[in-house]
Chain A
Amino acid sequence: MAKNHITTTINGDEYEFLCDTEQTLLDCLRDELFMTGTKEGCASGDCGACNVMLDGQLVCSCLVLGVEADGKSVETIEGMAHGDKLHPLQQKFLELNGLQCGICTPGILIAAKALLDRNPDPTETEIRYWLAGNLCRCTGYDKVVRSVQAAAEEMRKG
């Protein structure tokens, strides 16, 4: 039973791992690399808890095979802070109670960052539709959206 040997860049560092063909990128991040910040909520691309950036594209890592990540660059929640400086999104989510249980939070932060990197001044509607693929059951989304708005404002100030 030969496994696939994958080399990939994650949060700027090179990683190598072995995996079965069926293993998703999500499985590999968690079970082969022990990067458990990315979560499994549904394994079918409906909840967004597994969001990562793959070569600059926001994706569900449960819908990407580990083998597809070979030679590519991945960004996960573990790379969002810079040293001990939290990203403004992370900071605002903390200050404005944009998270309760926190299980959806890594996925939402990755998705929100992808939005703000592309559109630094989104409307409430744009934020809501961008995050439609990120389910949250605790917050009712209100403070999630407000946290994103506050972070966007902070980031626009530079």
Chain B
Amino acid sequence: MATDLDDLTYDPNRKLKVVGTNPIKADGVDKVTGRAKFGADTYLPGTLVGKILRSPHAHAIIKSIDISEAEKIPGVKAVVTRDDFPDLKPGPMRDISVICMARDKVFYDGHQVAAVAATSEKAAKAALKVIKVEYVVLPHVIDVMDAIKPDAPILHEDLRTKGLDDAPDKPTNIIQRAEWSMGDVEKGFAEAYLIVEREFDTKPMHQGYIEPQGCMANTTEDGQIELWCCTQAHFVYRSRLAAILEMDISKIRVTVSELGGGFGGKTNFYAEPLAIVLSRKANRPVKMVLTRNEVFRATGPVAGTHSRIKIGVTKDGKFTAAECEAYFQTGPFTGSAFANAPQAIFTRYDLENVRAWGFEVACNRPKVAAFRAPCVPQIVFGVEGVVDEIARKLKMDPIELRLKNAAVEGYKTIYGDTFGPVGFVETLEAAKAHPHYSAPLGPNQGRGIGCGFWFNRGGETTASLNITPDGSVNLMLGNPDVAGSRVSISMMAAEELGISVDKVRPIIGDTSSLGYNHSTVGSRVTFSAGMAIVQSARAAIKVLCQRAAIMWDVPEDHVVFEDGYVRPASTNVGDFEPLSIADIAKKAGTTGGAIAGHAEINAKGAGPGFGVHIVDVEVDKETGGVQVVRYTVVEDAGKAIHPLQVEGQFQGGAVQGLGWALNEEYIYDENGCMENPGFLDYRVPVCSDVPMIDTVIIEVPNPRHPYGLRGVGEVPVVPTLATIANAIGDAIGTRPRSLPMSPPKVLKLIEQVAENGVDEAYVA
């Protein structure tokens, strides 16, 4: 049956041939052979090596910079400092410019202060050594709760808190306050039989992508810029570069390489503007690749937080009110996306009375970037702990408690949207029915449940679909592929056109080849670019029909497209053999020219996602060591376009959360410098640390997408921290409230229990 080309809603009756299968992705062979080119993998003749001079101080005034000796070093072709960057008026672009090149102050250990381009790494490093920077060291502050104290060292004397009525007119580190509320929490708490209120804190951490940032800039004498880099956001980079370098956007062409992990951390640039300005000065290409040390010290990490969570519940387990007050570290400037937290942390529960507010706090570390679901997992760590405590105190099964409070279609969220069909109930029920949930536990083991939500996004997206002269298809996409969106989008194109996915080859175009695309973030690409490609495909199909009509000399509306062929709409039209795409494409030149479709959309209708995790841990009670021994992720994908890809997202997010929960943290010395800027002491999970991660894909289709899909990239990390903490609590009799739950901290809790007994909630 032919699809209604103008109807972009999900059709449950449609028979699918490609979507739902697991073809090998087009970029796969290059990646398993080493052929794929990542950020550091370009080479041009005459390329100079670029290196960055970084502040050794966490907070200091730059009195002077003297580059004269550096410029004399043989092989050095250019040196740049703050003098080489335009001054901008206050605002986000100036903040970005200051992050890339410090102006009057440095704000963190590793802040970029100068840069050199030379014919060898040796020469560049020698030049860095002789750049003389005079600093006046200032007191620094890093921890979020230290930064809000009245006597805390101040980063910006002129900063006053936004979003506060009657903000005091004195210097502060609190950049802004944001609140979301609905209903009447006072009333809700008054009606509660039981109120649980707890405080939690989480240490800052890093996304830990294995590929350090790498780029190559090449400039011309007439002001054109070519930039090759690994990024999740090449169009956004282009706009921002144009703004901070004060030039036309169209003169910058950003080509995105394959991306060796981003998770939200490669949405901001650090080396790129320096490479460009160096390249201009030296009139040669400049390549800049960050070292692992630089990545940890000076790229956007994840916010540390402090939160207070309060939930009230009736005797039979119905939540009556929920409240959250939270503080988020952001680095020297705003941009933490902390506003996600009040909107997301309780959203899955059928609450009427909610009040959630957050503070974004400046401190002496790099400006934070997202790590999937920015600013949310850290607070859900607390929310799901309070929910767990409520379940125990009411002697209710933890999944039953959540089912009792699960939001369903029609629920009006705190951020204004009303849920369409959503899968929270289905994920809970699937978790409950899963054999993991009822499997017996061994000695020193504990089990935790946790759940989470993510909005998933749509946004500005462009794409084009070109039918080649032999009927095979090229896709031009504008969103870096972080983990398989290319293949899922190709599958949707193949499904639309009724051809095999092998006939569809996608590329990610550079910024000159397509209209603007928003970043690869928000779990939005498979949804949005999929939508754009579906629209492009349908536009192309309409052209195919027109051409077939021309070839048959019949009116346009006398033909239909079905299963890869254009055929007469009825036998009355005439006795014509159906034409394949290849048949029509062959004749394209004579029927009107090349056949294509394109779309420039602001994708709407992204469907929220929900996840439920079940985790078993084993605790070594003598050392506090924690081992995760079993892990199950249940999540609603709407529709899994490529199930193995979707499973991979669930598993990857779970293990990232596992590292965050157990061992990952920034360790600072008394000077505010990072002590563990390497993979030896910044402890991401290794292969032997984790079990197999079981996955269950729930499919409650999103009716607003032709294939029913929901984003899946971010939900998997949201419940993880809380779930592991709940499992440890189950094993030891007290629930950890501070991340990471490293062995010394867990051992302390075990000793507490040995001395005082288990927490009230754990009394059988």
Contacts and interface: CB of A to CB of B under 8 A. Distances in A.
Q: Do A and B come from one complex?
A: yes
Interface string A77-110: 1101100001000100111110111111110010
Contact of B680 (A44, A99, A124): A44
Nearest to A99: B31
B176 interface: no
Contacts of A131: 687-688
Contacts of B685: 140-141
B648 A143 contact: yes
Interface stretch (B241-249, B253-261, B381-389, B506-514): B253-261
A22 interface: yes
A105 B37 CA distance: 13
Given A94-B28, A137-B209, A138-B261, A100 B656 contact: no
Contact of B43 (A34, A76, A124, A143): A34
25 contacts: A40-B212, A43-B292, A44-B680, A46-B678, A81-B33, A90-B32, A93-B28, A94-B24, A94-B25, A94-B29, A97-B648, A100-B648, A101-B260, A102-B27, A102-B31, A103-B260, A106-B32, A125-B688, A136-B210, A136-B687, A137-B209, A141-B685, A141-B687, A141-B690, A143-B647
A85 B207 CA distance: 36
Contacts of B33: 37, 77-78, 80-81, 86, 90
Contact of B652 (A35, A135, A138): A138
A8 interface: no
B482 A101 contact: yes
Contacts of A142: 647, 651, 690, 692-693
Contacts of A146: 692
B429 interface: no
Interface string A27-51: 0001100111111111110110100
Contacts of B463: none
A25 interface: no
A100 B484 contact: yes
Contacts of A39: 38, 40, 210-211, 260
Given A30-B41, A131-B688, 11 more contacts: A36-B41, A40-B212, A41-B211, A97-B644, A125-B688, A137-B210, A139-B648, A140-B654, A141-B687, A142-B651, A145-B692
Nearest to A77: B34
Given A39-B38, A135-B679, A137-B684, A86 B292 contact: no
Interface of B: 22, 24-25, 27-38, 40-41, 43, 120, 122, 207-212, 258-263, 289, 291-292, 482-484, 644-645, 647-648, 651-656, 678-680, 684-688, 690, 692-693
B292 A44 contact: yes
A145 B693 CA distance: 11
Contacts of B40: 30, 36, 39-40
Nearest to B214: A40
A102 B652 contact: no
B32 A135 contact: no
Majority secondary structure of chain B interface residues (helix, strand, loop or mixed): loop
B686 to A, nearest CB: 5
Contacts of B653: 140
Given A36-B41, A132-B687, A86 B29 contact: yes
Given A34-B43, A132-B686, A132-B688, A46 B680 contact: yes
B127 to A, nearest CB: 16
A132 B27 CA distance: 26
A41 B32 contact: no
A30 B263 CA distance: 26
A109 to B, nearest CB: 6
Contacts of B208: 137
Given A46-B680, A137-B684, A37 B34 contact: yes
B24 A22 contact: no
B212 A137 contact: no
B210 A41 contact: yes
Closest 4 CB pairs of A and B: A37-B34, A103-B260, A102-B31, A140-B655
A106 B655 contact: no
